[in-house]
Structure 1
Amino acid sequence: MSVKQQVLEQLTRPVVEGLGFIFWGLEYIPQGNRSLLRIYIDHEEGIDVEDCATVSRQISSVLDVEDPIQSNYTLEVSSPGMDRVLFTLEQFAVYKGHEIEIRLSRPFEGRKKFKGLLNGVEDSDVLLVIGDEEYVLPFEQIEKARIIPRFDQIDG
């Protein structure tokens, strides 16, 4: 996580949690003179558009005062959704047994993209099973990881 992302999390996490939501994670994507700050919130009863709007208004107020992003930016507040991005080792541990996609910041055994079954966490590594092989991927090298939703057929 970059220093900028750490600062943004320190400013926004207390706002999200103070409103009774779970701070799932954030993405900060600098794009020249128009950056994107995407904050994911969750709740055991789910998230709706009004929840996102409420959190967005509160975070906007804090960011206006603190001014951590010098350029113009777009703020998005969203539910993590079914294809949620995983940000922490704790989140990886919770989703053990799910299929995920992982993109690394640098190649591991000649590749940067992996897709397989999440087999848990060991120390600061993520265990991923692809076919008959288990890969031990260092957490600090994971650039992005996302759950692959399953839409099992429903009889009826």
Structure 2
Amino acid sequence: MLPAEAAAFSLTSEGKAAEVERLIAPTVADLGFEIVRVQLGGGQRRPTLQVMIERPDGSLAIEDCVAVSHAVSALLEVEDPIDGAYELEVSSPGIDRPLTRAKDFLRWAGYEAKVELKLPIEGRRRIKGRLIGLEGTDVILAEAAGQPQVRLPLSAIGKAKLVLTDDLLAAGQAGEPDA
């Protein structure tokens, strides 16, 4: 069980995307999915609203993306939270997925991750290493064998994602539930 402060941590969206996430989250949850990330990008001409989802067990099928896309599209059509035209993309987080929730740092322990901090800690903004897990509200990374582990407060993390490595690919090909 995660501490309340850690469980509240989420980097799933910001700005206008956070507004959209708040709007669509109940519908996505009612369909049996969790939001991994909502992101609005792609420039001014034709922005893309990307909604990454998964089931609580981490699984996802193309039919799931279609169902969520239809439901979210209908809701966004009515509520119209985004000015102008945009593309809606509902997808899986993929194998080298973003780590956006506290539970992601536990679930993906043992795999390599890249973390970008909001502000430098000890002169560093980017840290890459094997994800050890989460202790309280600190993410623990091992940068290299023989080096001390790095502790990063969840609140200091701006972005984090898994690194595509042979270990991660092998786990994905073996059909392991967490890869």
TM over 0.5: yes
Q: CA deviation at 1:79?
A: 0.9
**Gapped regions of structure 1 (runs ≥ 5):** none
Distance in 2 of aligned mates of 1:35 and 1:100 = 28
Q: Is the 8 A contact 1:101 1:146 kept in 2?
A: yes
Return the letter of the residue paired with 1:64.
E
User: What is residue 50 of structure 1 aligned with on the other side?
Assistant: 63
Verify: 1:145 aligned to 2:157, yes or no: no
Q: Identity across aligned pairs (percent)?
A: 36
Report the structure, 1 or 2, having the larger strand content: 1
User: What is residue 21 of structure 1 aligned with on the other side?
Assistant: 33
| TM-score (structure 1 length as normaliser) | 0.83
Which consecutive aligned stretches of 4+ in structure 1 deviate over 6 angstroms post-superposition?
none
Q: CA deviation at 1:61?
A: 1.0
Q: Which string of whole-angstrom CA distances, capped at 9 and with x for unpartnered residues, describes residues 71-127 of structure 1?
A: 332211101121111111122122222211112233222232221011222333211
Return the letter of the residue paired with 1:51.
D
Verify: 1:107 aligned to 2:107, yes or no: no
Distance in 1 of aligned mates of 2:135 and 2:58 = 30
Return the letter of the residue paired with 1:25.
R
User: What is residue 142 of structure 2 aligned with on the other side?
Assistant: 129
Q: Is the 8 A contact 1:33 1:71 kept in 2?
A: no
Verify: 1:79 aligned to 2:92, yes or no: yes
Kindly report the root-mean-square deviation, in angstroms, between the aligned alpha carbons of the 2 structures: 2.4
**Gapped regions of structure 2 (runs ≥ 5):** 1-12, 174-179
| TM-score (structure 2 length as normaliser) | 0.74
Q: CA deviation at 1:12?
A: 1.5
User: What is residue 19 of structure 2 aligned with on the other side?
Assistant: 7
Q: CA deviation at 1:56?
A: 0.8
Aligned residues: 154
The match for 1:65 among 67, 75, 78 is 78
Distance in 1 of aligned mates of 2:19 and 2:35 = 14
Distance in 1 of aligned mates of 2:161 and 2:78 = 33
User: What is residue 36 of structure 1 aligned with on the other side?
Assistant: 48
